[in-house]
């Protein structure tokens, strides 16, 4: 539960004590008051009352003082594992923990996807997603410095159990590192894994296996993930995209700033390296995996599911990676006293939200739902007990399953058919148009360009046959990225609304294999309580890892009196001192400043 839970519990009990004492005081005073009228003499009863009252007062003060001292101590130390476990049955012996993150998936994404599936598959109106059957609660997502979190602060809440600032990769607001549940699990003898559909160096996976003052330090994050980490190698299995940060800048497809070859470093640290579908298939669903394993299946992102399904021979799906990882980790721990911890992320639900692409999003959510079902399937069959908890770091896009297109009052509806007609994502369509404009279509006239856009992209890829001349014009001479124009064309036709290309502050859902096993997360919680649950479930002392990471052994400078920023410079340059790391921003009259045509595309997720 919350890091402050013990203190709340304490405060409650002290309140309860005070109330009890107050009741006793009342009883004594009122009870004796009637007697006093009859007995005006100040006898031993009077002095006994005074004594009792004084004792009650002192005891109350003592309890309050103790509570305050305890609170102070508790606020300095990380959440401690609880000795007792509540309603459900936490296994006492070997166990596995699967944590799933649906990045950027808010409650409306579920409504959208559920209705989409009912429509496309002709299912009854009470047909639900697998996730729907396992809903147990909600998470509140704000970060230390904003009501709207980013994925870095969101994942730090999960990995460390602490609120931090947007951009923080398992770093606290004072720029000191905080131990993560994955690190603690590795040190305790668990096998560990990370499975994602975006870059393995992106914020969510990064927060479990590395520390950086800013999420942009992906080169450093990659180094830490393959073992150049204060605690040594902490991850046993990694699958996803983001190959470019592991390749030297002299190699094609690299996005590193330096010429370090991290594939080579990974091999030196024992990793078996895979870079394509052929090698993935040879893992035979996980039975042929040799840990540690580094599987990088795309330079950056694995394509959206809506596009990937047409290239199934090139990229594995999230479900396939999930099944393979679970089999591999289960096999690797068969004869061990400890099980495994794995974080599995549906990374690109968030990207579809950023792109305001509802067609791409429903396919991402369906792929995530399948991966969740695969995890349930594994838990049911595996002999080691375990639990899966799934939640989102935040909502993305301010998605609305309704949209008013005109000044006139709207009809109550949205059209799933429009999403079903799209065979590809707006990202795919945007890239295709860019390739055409800079290649084959470079010297073509507007009429030919328009024909290409209408027939070869809108009709063929997005299922749109009623584009207006204005829309075609905005694709030939775009103000914003053409991907956004395509997504907006789909959204308007489907009557799906978006309030932002960024994140929103909506509460997000929590799902689990069993509400009994994940009982501390039923109801509405802060995101750090999810992180605390992860550590509690495996009886991990994450605070001890924090202490170790903060110990002088890893200080970059020797001087005891160095400011924290220098001690921990291995985590990269900290934010400037003028940047807020906690508290809320003040109102800036922003609505006046931004021009409506200022794209601001390609920001951080
Ligand atoms: C590649 O990295 C090296 C340092 O490792 C640097 O000197 C060089 O400028 C980089 N080259 C490019 C093209 O970025
Ligand atoms: C897949 O990767 C292996 C090496 O890991 C390589 O030998 C093989 O040619 C690659 N296959 C394809 C289709 O790229
Ligand atoms: Zn996110
Ligand atoms: Zn995002």
Cβ of 258 less than 6 Å from ligand 1: yes
The residue whose CA has the least distance to atom 3 of ligand 1 is 258
- Across the beta sheet with 386-391, the strand order is 272-274, 293-296, 237-241, 191-199, 340-346, 96-102, 386-391, 508-512, 135-140, 523-526
Residue 32's pLDDT is 37
Same domain, 280 and 367: yes
Q: Which of 278, 282, 312, when mutated, tests ligand 2's pocket best, judged by the most ligand atoms within 8 Å of its CB? A: 278
**Which residue among 139, 151, 164, 491 is the active-site one?**
151
Same domain, 527 and 486: no
Q: Of 494, 519, 536, which residue is a domain's last?
A: 494
- Pull the structure tokens for residue 66: 């103790």
Please confirm whether the linkage preceding 582 is cis (ω < 30° from 0): no
Same domain, 309 and 452: no
- Pull the structure tokens for residue 175: 């720029």
Same domain, 217 and 323: yes
Q: Of 494, 529, 560, which residue is a domain's last?
A: 494
Measured in angstroms, how far is the CA atom of residue 232 from the centroid of ligand 3?
A: 27
Q: Of 450, 467, 494, which residue is a domain's last?
A: 494
Cβ of 249 less than 6 Å from ligand 1: yes
Same domain, 454 and 512: no
**57 inside domain:** no
The residue whose CA has the least distance to atom 9 of ligand 1 is 258
End-to-end alpha carbon distance in the chain: 27
The residue whose CA has the least distance to atom 4 of ligand 1 is 258
Q: Which long-range contacts (CB under 8 A, 24 or more apart) does 268-273 make?
A: 269/226, 269/227, 269/233, 270/233, 271/226
- Pull the structure tokens for residue 202: 């992106």
Same domain, 156 and 176: yes
Measured in angstroms, how far is the CA atom of residue 351 from the centroid of ligand 2?
A: 28
**63 inside domain:** no
Quickly list H helices, 213-288.
218-225, 262-268, 277-281
Q: Which ligand is nearest to the CA of 297?
A: 2
Cβ of 275 less than 6 Å from ligand 2: yes
Measured in angstroms, how far is the CA atom of residue 7 from the centroid of ligand 4?
A: 33
The CA distance from 41 to 43, in Å, is 6
Same domain, 204 and 278: yes
Per-residue DSSP letters for 72-97? HHHHHSPPPPPSS--SS---SSS-EE
How far CA 556 is from CA of 175, 269, 374, 568, 572, in Å, comes to 13, 23, 44, 6, 11
Instruction: Look up the CATH number of the domain holding residue 320.
Output: 3.40.720.10
473 annotated as a binding-site residue: no
**64 inside domain:** no
Same domain, 144 and 277: yes
Closest ligand 1 atom to 249 CA: 1
Distance of CA 121 to the CA centre of its chain: 30
**72 inside domain:** no
The candidate with the shortest Cα–Cα distance to 222, out of 304, 348, 161, 241, is 241
The residue whose CA has the least distance to atom 2 of ligand 1 is 258
Same domain, 467 and 591: no
345 annotated as a binding-site residue: yes
Q: Which ligand is nearest to the CA of 315?
A: 2
Same domain, 107 and 210: yes
**52 inside domain:** no
Residue 566's pLDDT is 76
The residue whose CA has the least distance to atom 7 of ligand 2 is 279
Instruction: Say whether 170 is catalytic.
Output: no
The CA distance from 1 to 577, in Å, is 32
Phi/psi at 339 (5° precision): -90, -135
389 contacts 534 by C-beta, under 8 angstroms: yes
* Range of the structural domain that residue 171 is part of: 96-400+501-599
**21 inside domain:** no
Please tell me the total count of domains within the chain: 2
- Tell me the average confidence (pLDDT) per consecutive run of 10 residues in the chain, 605 residues long: 38 38 36 41 70 77 65 54 69 96 98 98 98 98 98 98 98 96 98 98 98 98 98 98 98 97 98 98 98 98 98 98 98 98 98 98 98 98 97 98 97 98 98 97 97 98 98 96 98 98 98 96 98 97 97 76 76 89 91 66 66
Same domain, 126 and 258: yes
Same domain, 326 and 358: yes
How far CA 500 is from CA of 116, 354, 355, 400, 506, in Å, comes to 22, 8, 9, 11, 13
Cβ of 267 less than 6 Å from ligand 2: no
Per residue in 208-219, pLDDT tens?
999 999 999 999
**68 inside domain:** no
32 annotated as a binding-site residue: no
The candidate with the shortest Cα–Cα distance to 295, out of 257, 334, 322, is 322
Angle at CA 307, nearest 5°, toward 304 and 308? 75
Beta-bridge partners for 480: none
Instruction: Give the chain's length.
Output: 605
Strands 272-274, 293-296: pairing kind: parallel
**40 inside domain:** no
589 annotated as a binding-site residue: no
């Amino acid at each position: 539960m919350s890091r402050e839970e013990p203190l709340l519990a304490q405060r409650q009990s002290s309140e309860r004590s005070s109330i009890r004492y107050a009741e006793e005081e009342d009883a004594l005073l009122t009870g004796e008051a009637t007697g006093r009228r009859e007995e005006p003499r100040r006898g031993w009863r009077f002095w006994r009352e005074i004594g009792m009252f004084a004792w009650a007062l002192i005891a109350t003060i003592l309890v309050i003082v103790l509570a305050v001292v305890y609170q102070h101590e508790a606020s300095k130390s990380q959440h401690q594992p609880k000795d007792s476990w509540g309603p459900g049955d936490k296994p006492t012996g070997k166990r596995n923990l699967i944590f799933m993150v649906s990045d950027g998936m808010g409650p409306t994404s579920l409504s959208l996807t559920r209705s989409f599936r009912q429509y496309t598959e002709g299912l009854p109106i009470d047909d639900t997603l697998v996730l729907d059957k396992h809903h147990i609660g909600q998470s509140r997502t704000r970060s230390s410095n904003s009501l709207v979190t980013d994925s870095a602060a969101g994942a730090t809440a999960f990995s460390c159990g602490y609120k931090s600032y947007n951009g923080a990769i398992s770093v606290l607001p004072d720029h000191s590192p905080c131990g993560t549940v994955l690190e603690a699990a590795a040190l305790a003898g668990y096998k560990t894994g990370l499975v994602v559909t975006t870059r393995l160096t992106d914020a969510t996976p990064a927060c479990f296996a590395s520390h950086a003052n800013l999420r942009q330090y992906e080169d450093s994050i990659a180094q830490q993930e393959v073992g150049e980490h204060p605690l040594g190698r902490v991850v046993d299995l990694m699958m996803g995209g983001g190959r470019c940060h592991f390749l030297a800048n002299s190699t094609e497809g690299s996005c590193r700033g330096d010429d370090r070859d991290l594939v080579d470093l990974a091999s030196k640290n024992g990793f078996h390296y895979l870079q394509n579908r052929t090698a993935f298939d040879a893992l035979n669903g996980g039975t042929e995996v040799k840990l540690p394993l580094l599987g990088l299946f795309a330079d950056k992102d694995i394509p959206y599911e809506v596009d990937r399904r047409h290239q199934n021979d090139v990229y594995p799906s999230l479900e396939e990676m999930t099944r393979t990882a679970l089999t591999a980790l289960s096999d690797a721990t068969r004869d061990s006293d400890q099980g495994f911890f794995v974080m599995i992320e549906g990374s690109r639900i968030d990207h579809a939200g950023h792109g305001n692409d509802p067609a791409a999003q429903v396919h991402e959510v369906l792929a995530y739902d399948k991966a969740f079902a695969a995890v349930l399937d594994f838990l049911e069959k595996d002999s080691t007990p375990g639990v899966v908890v799934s939640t989102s770091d935040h909502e993305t896009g301010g998605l609305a399953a309704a949209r008013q297109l005109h000044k006139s009052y709207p009809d109550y509806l949205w059209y799933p058919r429009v999403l079903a007609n799209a065979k590809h994502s707006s990202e795919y369509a945007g890239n295709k148009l860019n390739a055409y404009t800079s290649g084959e279509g470079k010297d073509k006239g507007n009429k030919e360009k328009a024909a290409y856009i209408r027939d070869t992209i809108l009709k063929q890829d997005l299922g749109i046959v009623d584009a207006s001349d204005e829309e075609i014009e905005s694709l030939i001479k775009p103000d914003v990225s053409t991907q956004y124009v395509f997504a907006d064309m789909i959204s308007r036709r489907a009557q799906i609304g978006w309030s932002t290309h960024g994140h929103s502050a909506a509460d997000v859902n929590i799902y689990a294999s069993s509400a009994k096993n994940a009982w501390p997360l039923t109801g509405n919680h802060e995101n750090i309580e999810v992180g605390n649950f992860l550590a509690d479930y495996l009886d991990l002392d994450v605070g001890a890892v924090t202490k170790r990471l903060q110990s002088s052994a890893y200080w970059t400078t020797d001087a005891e009196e160095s400011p924290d920023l220098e001690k921990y410079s291995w985590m990269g340059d900290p934010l400037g001192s003028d940047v807020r790391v906690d508290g809320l921003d003040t109102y800036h009259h922003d609505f006046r400043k931004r021009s409506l045509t200022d794209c601001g595309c390609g920001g951080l997720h």
